[in-house]
A = this chain, B = another copy of it.
Amino acid sequence: MRAKVQVFLKPGVLDVQGKAVEHALHGLGWGDVADVRVGRTIEFDLKSADATAAEAEVKAMCEKLLANTVIEGYRVEVA
């Protein structure tokens, strides 16, 4: 199975990259771009027959390693 994790800053946490990218896109003429958020994606294979179990597993990886839950949230997809 392929797991796909998206990690992004929690709402309210300053997204310095998003801010800079937004500024740059405006400068290049895309002035209507707004609310840019930059996040991280982690994709990987894992051996598991059962999607529900795999999802729980991947969530445990997020809590333990993949996300910094003090400031970041995450979304998990397994397929």
Contact = CB atoms under 8 A, between A and B. Distances in A.
B37 A33 contact: no
Given A21-B66, A40-B38, A41-B8, A46 B33 contact: yes
A28 B61 CA distance: 9
Contacts of A44: 18, 21-22, 25, 33-37
Give the oligomeric copy count.
2
Interface of A: 6, 8, 18, 21-22, 24-25, 28, 30, 32-48, 57, 61, 64-66
A32 B58 CA distance: 12
Contacts of A40: 38-41
Contacts of A41: 6, 8, 38-41
